[in-house]
Structure 1
Amino acid sequence: LIFFFIRRRGKNERGMANKGLQLLGFALAMIGLIGLLAGTIMPQWQMSAYVGDNIITAVAVYQGLWMSCAYQSTGQMQCKVYDSMLQLNRSLQATRALMVISILLTVIGLGVASMGMKCTNCGGDDKVKKSRIAMTGGIILLLGGLCSIVACSYFSYQIIQDFYSPFTPVNT
């Protein structure tokens, strides 16, 4: 989204560069949306390994935002969607909400930014109006990214707090 903050140099000089930078920013935002969707869906947000006396009985438990999976050393993986939202802890519920908000803001930001791009006909021919629309789309995209950063940071903070908690049982 750096392309919104480039200074004007001259009419002929900045025309293609800004269009190219806008397309680059839009493409990077699309890649970010794909990564955001993949990260939200994946069950590998938290991992716990339980290794008994025997390597054959080893189990790795993955917990995601929407399901938990158990991967056994035999190669089998079993996943179960969470039954009720009420049984989930607050950090998981907050992370879920922030990630969904982030996805929604990113989709809205992409729509608004595409209307303000120089290579589209949406938003009229007024250059000032189109640049303001593009700036608004960029700000919405930044807010969506901020929501995902806060969600991931908060969830990882909770994992670290649980790991160092004296009340967490030791794997015996």
Structure 2
Amino acid sequence: MANSGLQLLGFVLALLGWVALIAATILPQWRMSSYAGDSIITAVAVYQGLWMSCAWQSTGQIQCKAYDSILNLSSALQATRALMVVSIVMGIIGIGVASMGMKCTRCGGDNKVQKARIAMTGGLIFVVGAQA
């Protein structure tokens, strides 16, 4: 059985990974391309994300546009969006289950074996959410 410090460390690392997952889902830098043309003054960088497309010009302007329709997106992008949302939801469930099973909480009763099984289930939910 792990002590409370290791459980807390694992929970904090899983929570940080979940926050990073949300950040990666939101940010538009999934696919990047650029065009400099004849002059660096007219350089344009195009960022395409899961939810929007952004154009950054060398003058410092950034213009973002959300995708109009899900039907116009490629099937790979639609599947990626769905899997990222499923991973975020699984992370929320994993946070709830793992926090109930930790030794430092009073949820789930006083039975140590039962709390260990609940904590292990929460960890497995985190792993399944990471694989989605």
Fold shared, TM-score > 0.5 on shorter chain: yes
Deviation at 1:48, TM superposition (A): 0.8
Q: CA RMSD in A?
A: 1.0
- State the identity as a percent: 70
Larger-gyration structure (1/2): 1
Unaligned runs of 5+ in 2: none
Q: Which residue of 2 aligns with 1:167?
A: none
For 1:28 and 1:123, how far apart are their aligned partners in 2?
22
Q: Matched residues in 2 for 1:46 and 1:85: separation?
A: 18
Alignment of 1:1-172 (within 5 A): 8=1, 18-147=3-132
State the TM-score, normalized to the length of structure 1.
0.75
Q: CA deviation at 1:141?
A: 0.3
Which runs of 4 or more aligned residues in structure 1 lie more than 4 Å from their structure 2 counterparts after TM superposition?
Answer: none
Give the TM-score taking structure 2 as reference length: 0.96
CA distance in 1, matches of 2:108, 2:23: 32
CA apart distance, 1:118:
0.6
Q: How far has the Cα of 1:146 moved from its partner?
A: 1.3
Deviations 1:28-82 (A, max 9, x none): 1111111111110000010011121122221100000000000001110000000
Does the residue aligned with 1:137 lie in a helix, a strand or coil? helix
